[in-house]
């Protein structure tokens, strides 16, 4: 399978997500089945961004959609390319986020759930069942959690790509506002250059004050 320029998306024999979980949910009577995933739990700065994606019930085996996989296994350029494909061919896409203030107030786990709730709520077509990456299902609508779901479930893989690209784009915007931290490159993660900038300049308004490296910085520079 290839995209623009003839570049291969995946090597032969690679494990790719499929539609088995979506088919099981539809066999139980659910019609609008959404995959849900988030991006940005680990960084020291920026929001957690979640996506909910409802894919078409039938997808050709020849479609590039059938070759989606976990966003972490894709280059940034391929994620961008697949993001456009998903936005063009999905039945519905919803985005939600939890701010650094939400993270500091509620903790990263609760903030991640909050972002996922908001993504599901933002779907232009209401989901009646959700497939959620991780170990914790959403209490509404009815849902099923799947550990490493972005590796096995096509709609979760799609959501992982949408969430990652949306968050990366947001961090690029923040990099223009707060250039000292190089968010365009590190996306808020605790890289050496980011921690050095944090030590020199202190936290920005989008840093997560409840995260230990940021708290250490505040203790050293009250």
Instruction: Give the architecture (CATH level 2) of 4-178.
Output: 2-Layer Sandwich (3.30)
What are 198-203's contacts with CB under 8 Å, separation 24+? 198/44, 203/45
Report d(CA 138, CA 128) in Å as an integer: 12
C-alpha torsion 154→40→210→206, nearest 10: -140
User: What is residue 222's predicted lDDT score, i.e. its pLDDT?
Assistant: 63
Instruction: Tell me the average pLDDT across 206-222.
Output: 90
Instruction: Tell me the average pLDDT across 26-52.
Output: 98
Structure letter (DSSP) for residue 54? E
Give the pLDDT band (50/70/90) at residue 61: confident
Domain spans in the chain, listed from the N-terminal domain onward: 4-178
Query: Residue 70: pLDDT above 80?
Result: no
Which segments of 49-186 does DSSP mark as H helices, in order?
76-89, 100-106, 108-121, 149-152, 154-177, 183-186
C-alpha torsion 182→184→190→192, nearest 10: -50
> Cα separations (Å) of 139 from 49, 51, 89, 169?
19, 17, 28, 29
Whether residue 155 contacts residue 30, with contact meaning beta carbons closer than 8 Å, is answered with no
Report d(CA 118, CA 127) in Å as an integer: 12
Neighbouring C-beta atoms of residue 77, cutoff 10 Å: 11
Give the pLDDT band (50/70/90) at residue 122: very high
33 beta partners: 129
Instruction: Tell me the average pLDDT across 35-54.
Output: 98
């Amino acid at each position: 399978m290839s995209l623009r320029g003839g570049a291969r998306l995946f090597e032969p024999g690679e494990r790719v997500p499929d539609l088995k979980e979506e088919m099981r949910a539809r066999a139980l009577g659910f019609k609008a089945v959404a995959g849900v995933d988030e991006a940005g739990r680990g960084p020291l700065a920026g929001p957690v961004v979640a996506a909910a994606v409802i894919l078409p019930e039938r997808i050709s085996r020849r479609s590039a959609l059938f070759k989606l996989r976990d966003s972490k296994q894709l280059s940034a350029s391929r994620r961008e390319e697949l993001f456009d494909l998903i936005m063009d061919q999905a039945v519905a896409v919803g985005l939600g986020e939890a701010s650094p203030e939400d993270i500091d107030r509620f903790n990263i786990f609760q903030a991640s759930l909050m972002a996922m709730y908001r993504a599901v709520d933002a779907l232009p077509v209401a989901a009646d069942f959700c497939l959620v990456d991780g170990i914790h299902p959403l209490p509404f609508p009815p849902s099923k959690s799947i550990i490493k779901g972005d590796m096995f479930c096509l709609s979760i893989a799609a959501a992982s790509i949408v969430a990652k690209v949306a968050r990366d784009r947001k961090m690029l915007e923040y990099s223009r506002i707060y250039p000292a931290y190089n968010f365009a490159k590190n996306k808020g993660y605790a890289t050496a250059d980011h921690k050095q900038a944090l030590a020199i300049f202190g936290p920005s308004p989008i840093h997560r004050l409840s995260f230990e490296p940021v708290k250490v910085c505040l203790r050293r520079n009250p």
